[in-house]
Chains A and B, each alone.
Chain A
Amino acid sequence: MKKIVYLDNAATSGKKPDNVKKAVMKTMENYCANPGRSGHFLSVSAQKAVYEVREKTAGMFGISKAENVIFTQNTTHALNIAVNTAGQRKKTVISSVMEHNSVLRPLYALEEKYGVKTVFLTPDFNNTDKFGEEVIRKIDRDCGAVVLTACSNVTGSLLPLKKIGRVCREKGIIFIVDGAQAAGHYGINMTENCIDMLCVPSHKGLLGICGGGALIVGDNFTEKINPVLMGGSGIYSVKKQMPDSLPERLEAGTLPFAPILSMGAGIDFLKKAGIEELNFRSTRAAQRLRELLGNTKGVTLYSCHGNIVLFNIEGKESFKTAEMLDRCGISVRSGLHCAPLCHKALGTGKDGGVRASFGWFNTPSDSEYLWKCIRNYL
């Protein structure tokens, strides 16, 4: 049987805990019904199960209002809602070159639609602490919002959220955080970090399945949030507009029930196993690869941290390297990782780089196997 080493956890987590699998089965076996729509027993049971996950998610990210957890199709959907809310102010939005296209493209659209000015700051990838000061320096009276990733999907760099969040709160600036890579890998407390809107996926660090995500709104955020999708809400069917109250205002159409319940089970798993312990495992495995590649002639290792390793083999296009690794049974991702500005800042070139992203189940021996394959390829 072919050896498989999955190192594409930044795209989606490769191994789901058993309780997550059971939760997904339960959606088909126990409540095969539409939550929040019908009044029969199965539908109400499904709705109660969804509400449990709202509570778990609120608790996980440090807010008290479960109704402020809005389930979405994915992080991108959540970010579109959040970024559009920022755009309503028609003021400058500060962001970074580390952002994914799920932030960049909605921001570019704001430029076109409202003439909103956007500023993309470049951090020192080896010392992102300084970046907080740079963002704060850029904040002026024309600034309406700050939109930042908590953790880069290309380099694994973390941004100093608390420092930035506090200044945003003091100045009445909306603080939006893309938690796609950080959620489940690092603790994020929205209240402590003064985050107004946090966007997370069901299927990455939270260990659920693909097809879901959440926009989590801070307890004290009062600005009106407009939906990007409109449709059925299960209430007020005669009204021509979406209802005013959260979460239904932003949850048009049938909810992704199985991804939501899988995410709840993932949160249970993270709580039991401990986020720090799981992060220690993935970081230790990634660190082993950084050590090996860093001492290998012919390999360019870029500034990278945590569970991410970004590299290129000199003279080889990144996708060729990824294909070679795939033949060895190693799953990595090549290219620009939907973060073109970040690659430009790193100088990886038009082909981008090879990203190995580690999960809680990976071990240093996975790194040693990848390194052996690279050595044979050089």
Chain B
Amino acid sequence: MTRLRKLNSICPYFALPCHLQRHRISPHKRANQSIIRALIFPLTTAIIVPIRKESSIQLRNDDTIAAIITPPGDGGLGAIRIAGPESLKIVNRVFRPRDRRESALQPFHLYHGYIMDKNGAVIDEVTTVVMPEGRSYTGQLQAEIFCHGGQFVLRRILEEILRQNARPAEPGEFTRRAFLSGRIDLARAEAVADLVASKTTYAYNVARNNLLGRLSQEIDSVRNKIIDLLADIEAAVDYPEEALETAGNQTLETSLREIIGNLKNLIESYRSGRIIKEGFKIAITGRPNAGKSSLFNLLLNQNRAIVASIPGTTRDYLSEWIDLDGLAVQLTDTAGLRGKAGVIEKAGQASAQKIIEESDLVIWLVDITRKGWKKEIPADLKNLSNRIILLLYNKIDKAKRDVKASLKSIDFSVPSFPVSCLTGEGMTDFRRYLKTVTSAEFPDLTDRLVITSERHQVKLKNASRHFKKARLSLKKQLSPELTAFDLRQGLNEIDEITGRVYNEQVLDRIFSRFCIGK
């Protein structure tokens, strides 16, 4: 009953995920969104609410689609995937096996041969494999063609395929089909999107774990425990005259406390999850001419920049990604805060404030050659709300000796380092510290389950809230149907993560666990 159903969020075809609607969307985000939109289809029966008719997501899944699945750029090998009912026919038409005796292509056999154009000329020498329905990535009849890398060759082959009865696949459409055909659940489909987008080892590990179904398993185990609790409660409600050996409130409460604890860990893991997925965000800020751009460039030059964009980033500011020992770090150079500003700068400052709020670490640069810089610091820091702050005393190369010497004795109860962004002096200490801070956010992930989706976090939080309420009603000895009500509501939230529907399982559990029958 699941039953019992949430719809406020999600559903691409029907509505956009609510958390995506809230924000202004950058082009990069939009690209990612189309994947999510394709994936986060009606999650449970609960949430199918037809809203937008014209959505591009009204993609059918009964035709045949094809796309190049290797990244753009030249490579040794390129691959093209074809999925849908016509896949085999299309391959038969464009592919000529080298061994002419091969009449019918067997599933999961690799064939060597040629892709021919409509005039019978060879486009490329390739290998191809056909996968039957139910045993392919999409769950549909599917074929893959491996040719020589190189965009021209790939495009020529794709053209030939599209000339047959196929259309170009939309972004994420193969995975969407995998979900629609029941091959993977929603949480795993989302993990695919993450996996594809992962830019660093950490992000990859997490996405892979989730793709392997670890998140789904964890969710299922919570779900099972809740259904067990419900079975106890419901059996007692529906069989008041039977002397059933159901668990007492105390036992129920204990297991519920455990479940809430598990959920709490998952919910909190989102902090790491988000950082892993979206990167550790560092805002470089300070008063005008404090040397922000110099620091920005210096850090950029010292680290490998990540060229491809990472979803969820904003591009309003000068912002770049660096790979800091396997961690994606996003550096943002904000407009100068404070100082006299015109209208335009003021607008800039407002969003600078926002950047700061969304950062995991704020570096406050101070120009120590300026007059009165010491007095300004306490007020400036106070303005930075409760972020983790790092003070950098810049321009030590130009500072007077006594100023430099005094740096050791001042303390604003935040970590501070004297540096010169121009000469690079002092940068080693600063960078060492930076690594300590960032890696603290990235614990050993080998056995830890981390959620990387805000949608999951929202659902888990909601579920947890309902379970807490249920626990409270157990404590207060409220009537059991109210406890059951809250448990069921929580269960619905959980089910939305994997896109599952609540059903008769409670009753089944009751019958198998209790001897019942007046």
Q: Is chain B a partner of chain A in the same complex?
A: no
Chain A positions near chain B (C-beta within 8 angstroms): none
